[in-house]
Structure 1
Amino acid sequence: MKLDDTAVPSTQDGLMKVGVPGLDDVLGGGLTSNRLYLVEGTPGAGKTTIALQFLIEGARRGESVLYVTLSETAQELRGVAFSHGWDLSGIEVREMLPSEAALEPDEQYTMFHPSEVELSETTLRILSDVDVLKPSRVVFDSLSELRLLAGSSLRYRRQILALKQFFAGRQCTVLLLDDMTAMKHDLQVQSIAHAVLRLEQISSDYGAARRRLIVSKYRGQQFRGGYHDYRIERGGLRVFPRLVASEHSSALTQERIPSGLDSLDTLLGGGLERGTSTLFVGAPGTGKSTVAVQFALAAAQRGECAALFIFDESIYTLRTRCESMGMDLAPHIESGRIKVRQVDPAELSPGEFVHLIRLAVVECAAAVVVIDSLNGYLNAMPDERFLIVQLHELLSYLGQAGVATLLVGAQHGLIGMQMQTPVDASYLADAVVLLRYFELDGEVRQAISVLKKRGGAHERTIRDFSMTATGLRVGEPLRHFRGILTGIPIPIDGVQPAS
């Protein structure tokens, strides 16, 4: 099962495939044939790219396609295609640009307004080409030129209505591109178009610009509402549809997955349940990431697949650190049972991050997913307002897929009760494991405890915890002390914990 739908036939249930990965999913299957559509966005948002992909898809299927450009030259279009590695040989390009003669004084109109002459000439040339080529897909780039040639809103609207009627009678699907350069954004074409797709690009304070799209309307068709992130890369535009967890519900059997450490599994009441999420929280260096990796390693040793998405350290550092504790990830990474993806915080959008996790689940059948850390996730997307809601949707999806999700959250501070977490996801997680430093006899020690577990009973004890050259060690409960979580425990009866 693949997430992309590019191999689907050109029409399915009367819908025409666009040729943009992920966009057909957003549109509910594709575009209704023989209709007029509006694609609007500011310059640089990717309108030309999406239009070329639409025509290339048609040419690939043996259809006649036409690109009518009123603003760019054919040479500029070929430059765009070359940057993506495309061949435009199957696309008819018609330039409707003013000739050099228009610069001559004798060519300037005196008795008539330019709109009265140029608009009629442009329209006649377009209609003539359509009658000859009989295309099934046509792109107009862009409406700004037609709007200026029309001169008035009334004439502009009538011209668009006439074009819509003309193409509807010739079994043709039309994309109108609008660069939104008009001083006032009117809704004339939006009211006429069968569907409206708006592309947006948002410049962040640091890192690459974020791009997203929304379907404003689509007559007679169920579509995926809301904003969807997309990326323009070599090969074209790729859309990452917004995740809706309720669309992926399935029946699950309650099953525990062990960590490979008997003492840790005892603390957790037998291990973690499939389809649940667990938050490992504590100060930096307490062993949160290492415990999460232990579950991934155990899954790989059972022959299952695990996926790690790391924000805060490099893959080299992760492997070196684990090898120093006897946790050799190399053979499992090479075999593909453990997949590690280092996330670049400045380049990734929330939608693309969710898409990568879905790929790990759908294509690699990942049984364990580790997100390390939520702090990095938050810092990677500081301008996003609804990350917690999106995280809830992601955890719901992974839970319904039977994936054990392990989240790592670093607290601010090192010791004591005044610990703060920048991302409070404890109410979302099914289980919360706390790792904490405490001081004892001039040494900094570590403790581990389970604060919450919806999947069943678990130990309420606080156990000694350490990371050694032979692996993780979960010791005996620290029963002879009180105040462990304060960082400075007080002996009850003078008995020291086992070392």
Structure 2
Amino acid sequence: MMMPVNPAHDARPIPTGVPGLDHILSGGYAAHRAHLIEGRPGGGKTTLGLQFLLDGQAQGERSLYITLSESKRELLSVAERHGWSLDGIDIYELVPPELSLDSELQQSLVHSSDLELGETVRMALAEIERVKPSRVVFDSLSEIRLLSQGSLRYRRQVLALKSYFLLNNATVLMLDDLSSEEDDLNLHSISHAVIRLEQVTPAYGAARRRLHVIKMRGTEYQGGYHDFVIKKGGIRVHPRLVASDHHRSFAKDTVESGVPELDQVLGGGLDRGTTSLLIGPSGAGKSTLALSYLIAGLRRGEHGVVISFDETRGIFVQRAASVGMPLAEFLDAGLLRIEQIDPADVSAGDFAGRIRDAVENDGARLVLIDSLTGYMSAMAGQPFLVLQMHELVTYLNQQGIVTILILAQHGMVGRMESPVDLTYVSDTVVMLRFFEAAGRVRRALSVLKKRTGPHEDTIREFKIDSGGLRVGEPLHNFRGVLTGVPTYDGHRDDLLDERTKADGKPLNQRGSDAAS
């Protein structure tokens, strides 16, 4: 007899116990329904099931794990590695009679698949009747498929299990390892929801894990692929970022770098809610220019995050200190977060998830990604790199974040090309170049575009030393900057070092004296 249930609570969303998955499923699994979790061995199905039961246990619900494929000892070992305790969760090792070492359960004559299947299902139903759980994980349907020896009997047995679960108002996860692809549609049609876990192994680096919801009746779930990771503590899902779902009001002001000449080139500085792209050859000073805005924000008491693909955390901090930008104090104060990412060990969802965590949980107001070249290496083989980046920067802009992207161009001198064109997703583009004059290699910067206001169209020399970034006055008689081979035909006295020698004072100090 079916247990009574309040219609308002029937099929209501209940937590999955997996961070990020509830968002994809619009609240969680449907109560009192059977859900199919499918994937190849090693995909994370058992971990997903255990997290579901542990969440139920935390809420005071009775939980049952029926296992045909793994022993109780193996399940306890998995839980121990994640730091979990399964005390309070019923684990039933369902051993088919023909595999039992108990002579009373073994058949003395020829095995009958009908008897074996019927007895296995009967034992499972009897345990459910005894425990009366609210949450059940059935692991796995592959054993039932093998005993059925035919798709019709298999479908009938799964239907019988599903009906019994419904009669007992249990919310069920049925795990399937896809040992027979030809039968998967049988399960899809009778399951309330179908979630598939996949692994994608690149030619180099760690496997990338992802899931997608194939169906979920009566629910507006988030479709498409969603990356997830399995670490100590279980599965964490990174829902695919949809920028249009994230809006926040913020003050539209302009942030300064602390270098007046640099801010002057950029029309006052960088605007909140915009993305700036710094492009140029390796070593041209892109990171140092970005650091000028980062440390200025930190000194104002704002939180910042650096996503570093190209340098270790220690080298990044050491290099910043060498140019007069100490970051250690801000790290100690919790204002700065530096995420060092191994390009061979991160997915697009994991990458976006780290940035979202820094923005939504740490309150970061400035994000520096150094560099997009490393990001492209991490996303190798993914055809939608630019689309993913577009969603990410749009999300950051809608959060009022000052976003700075660094992109190294191929080569150091001569004609240079960018490995990917992200100028259209950037509100501001600053180009840095090497040039030679007066017998020395020098650096120049120019602003190619700024959507949110006016900017200088001049070319200025800049220099990096122990005092940080120094920017000179606009230089004339330049040619070849945009083609990648800048040539300076002006007077040498207009250059930074030469002007310093003229009166014995650094450029920045001369500007201060003039102001006073």
Q: Normalising by the residue count of structure 1, what TM-score does the alignment of the two structures yield?
A: 0.93
How far 1:253 sits from its partner (Å)?
A: 3.7
How far 1:152 sits from its partner (Å)?
A: 1.3
Specify the code of the residue in structure 2 equivalent to 1:392.
Answer: H
- Residue aligned with 1:427, SS: helix
- Residue aligned with 2:182, SS: coil
User: Is 1:15 the equivalent of 2:13?
Assistant: yes
For residues 129-148 of structure 1, the aligned pairs below 5 Å read 129-148=127-146
C-alpha contact (below 8 Å) 1:482/1:492 kept by paired residues: no
User: Is 1:81 the equivalent of 2:95?
Assistant: no
In the other structure, the counterpart of 1:162 is 160
- Residue aligned with 2:344, SS: coil
Specify the code of the residue in structure 1 equivalent to 2:320.
Answer: C
Matching residue within 425, 433, 437 for 2:434: 437
- Residue aligned with 2:323, SS: coil
1:313-345 Cα distance to aligned partner (Å, 9 max, x none)? 112212221212111111111111121111111
Matching residue within 294, 309, 312 for 1:311: 309
d(CA) in 2 for partners of 1:251 and 1:330?
Answer: 31
In the other structure, the counterpart of 1:267 is 265
In the other structure, the counterpart of 2:50 is 52
In the other structure, the counterpart of 1:390 is 388
1:274-329 Cα distance to aligned partner (Å, 9 max, x none)? 00000000000110011111111000111111111111011221222121211111
In the other structure, the counterpart of 2:320 is 322
CA RMSD of aligned residues (A): 2.1
How far 1:130 sits from its partner (Å)?
A: 1.3
C-alpha contact (below 8 Å) 1:211/1:229 kept by paired residues: yes
Call closer, same or farther: CA 1:493–1:344 in 2, change over 3 Å. closer
Specify the code of the residue in structure 2 equivalent to 1:18.
Answer: T
Specify the code of the residue in structure 2 equivalent to 1:424.
Answer: D
Call closer, same or farther: CA 1:66–1:469 in 2, change over 3 Å. same
In the other structure, the counterpart of 2:455 is 458
In the other structure, the counterpart of 2:207 is 209
How far 1:115 sits from its partner (Å)?
A: 2.2
How far 1:70 sits from its partner (Å)?
A: 1.1
How far 1:54 sits from its partner (Å)?
A: 0.8
C-alpha contact (below 8 Å) 1:38/1:190 kept by paired residues: yes
Specify the code of the residue in structure 2 equivalent to 1:482.
Answer: R
C-alpha contact (below 8 Å) 2:11/2:32 kept by paired residues: no
1:423-446 Cα distance to aligned partner (Å, 9 max, x none)? 211111000000000111321110
Gaps of 5+ in 1: 1-10
Runs of 4+ in 1 over 4 A off after TM superposition: 99-113, 492-496
Call closer, same or farther: CA 1:302–1:118 in 2, change over 3 Å. same
C-alpha contact (below 8 Å) 2:309/2:341 kept by paired residues: yes
- Residue aligned with 2:425, SS: coil
d(CA) in 2 for partners of 1:372 and 1:428?
Answer: 17
Call closer, same or farther: CA 1:355–1:95 in 2, change over 3 Å. same
Specify the code of the residue in structure 1 equivalent to 2:469.
Answer: L
d(CA) in 1 for partners of 2:239 and 2:181?
Answer: 31
How far 1:17 sits from its partner (Å)?
A: 0.7
User: Is 1:448 the equivalent of 2:445?
Assistant: yes
Specify the code of the residue in structure 1 equivalent to 2:151.
Answer: S
Specify the code of the residue in structure 1 equivalent to 2:68.
Answer: L
Q: Normalising by the residue count of structure 2, what TM-score does the alignment of the two structures yield?
A: 0.90
For residues 282-297 of structure 1, the aligned pairs below 5 Å read 282-297=280-295
Specify the code of the residue in structure 2 equivalent to 1:444.
Answer: V
d(CA) in 1 for partners of 2:492 and 2:256?
Answer: 35
C-alpha contact (below 8 Å) 1:66/1:139 kept by paired residues: yes
For residues 299-448 of structure 1, the aligned pairs below 5 Å read 299-416=297-414, 418-448=415-445
How far 1:139 sits from its partner (Å)?
A: 1.1
How far 1:111 sits from its partner (Å)?
A: 7.7
Specify the code of the residue in structure 2 equivalent to 1:385.
Answer: P
Call closer, same or farther: CA 1:147–1:238 in 2, change over 3 Å. same
C-alpha contact (below 8 Å) 1:480/1:495 kept by paired residues: no
Call closer, same or farther: CA 1:386–1:114 in 2, change over 3 Å. farther
d(CA) in 2 for partners of 1:495 and 1:259?
Answer: 27
How far 1:269 sits from its partner (Å)?
A: 0.1
Specify the code of the residue in structure 2 equivalent to 1:471.
Answer: G
C-alpha contact (below 8 Å) 2:272/2:400 kept by paired residues: yes
How far 1:482 sits from its partner (Å)?
A: 2.9
Number of matched residues?
A: 488
C-alpha contact (below 8 Å) 1:84/1:235 kept by paired residues: yes
- Residue aligned with 1:211, SS: strand
d(CA) in 1 for partners of 2:461 and 2:405?
Answer: 22
How far 1:110 sits from its partner (Å)?
A: 9.2
- Residue aligned with 1:328, SS: coil
d(CA) in 2 for partners of 1:245 and 1:197?
Answer: 24
C-alpha contact (below 8 Å) 1:101/1:107 kept by paired residues: no
For residues 165-176 of structure 1, the aligned pairs below 5 Å read 165-176=163-174
In the other structure, the counterpart of 2:504 is none
C-alpha contact (below 8 Å) 2:63/2:90 kept by paired residues: yes
C-alpha contact (below 8 Å) 1:114/1:149 kept by paired residues: no
Call closer, same or farther: CA 1:101–1:279 in 2, change over 3 Å. closer
C-alpha contact (below 8 Å) 2:33/2:170 kept by paired residues: yes
Call closer, same or farther: CA 1:395–1:13 in 2, change over 3 Å. farther
Specify the code of the residue in structure 2 equivalent to 1:57.
Answer: D
d(CA) in 2 for partners of 1:462 and 1:472?
Answer: 16
Q: Which moved more, 1:54-63 or 1:303-312?
A: 54-63
Call closer, same or farther: CA 1:61–1:204 in 2, change over 3 Å. same
How far 1:62 sits from its partner (Å)?
A: 1.5
Specify the code of the residue in structure 1 equivalent to 2:425.
Answer: L
C-alpha contact (below 8 Å) 2:96/2:119 kept by paired residues: no
Q: Which moved more, 1:352-361 or 1:58-67?
A: 58-67
C-alpha contact (below 8 Å) 2:65/2:137 kept by paired residues: yes
In the other structure, the counterpart of 2:69 is 71
In the other structure, the counterpart of 1:7 is none
Gaps of 5+ in 2: 1-8, 498-516
d(CA) in 2 for partners of 1:159 and 1:407?
Answer: 56
d(CA) in 2 for partners of 1:481 and 1:100?
Answer: 87
In the other structure, the counterpart of 1:61 is 59
C-alpha contact (below 8 Å) 1:306/1:337 kept by paired residues: yes
For residues 200-279 of structure 1, the aligned pairs below 5 Å read 200-279=198-277
d(CA) in 1 for partners of 2:480 and 2:124?
Answer: 82
C-alpha contact (below 8 Å) 1:283/1:414 kept by paired residues: yes
d(CA) in 2 for partners of 1:345 and 1:333?
Answer: 23
In the other structure, the counterpart of 1:4 is none
